[in-house]
Amino acid sequence: MELWMSLTLLSIGLLALWLYMLSGSKPSSPTRPRPAQPRSTQPRSAPSRSGSARLHASQWERKVLAQMRGDQARFERTLAAKRNKHPRASREELLEIIYEEYIRDNR
The whole-number mean pLDDT for each consecutive block of 10 residues of the chain, a chain of 107 residues, reads 83 82 62 59 51 70 89 92 92 90 86
The CA radius of gyration of the chain, in Å to the nearest whole number, is 27
Confidence (pLDDT) at 26: 53
Confidence (pLDDT) at 88: 92
Q: Are the beta carbons of 68 and 30 closer than 8 angstroms?
A: no
CA dist., res. 93 & res. 77, Å (int) = 16
What are the extents of the domains in the chain?
71-107
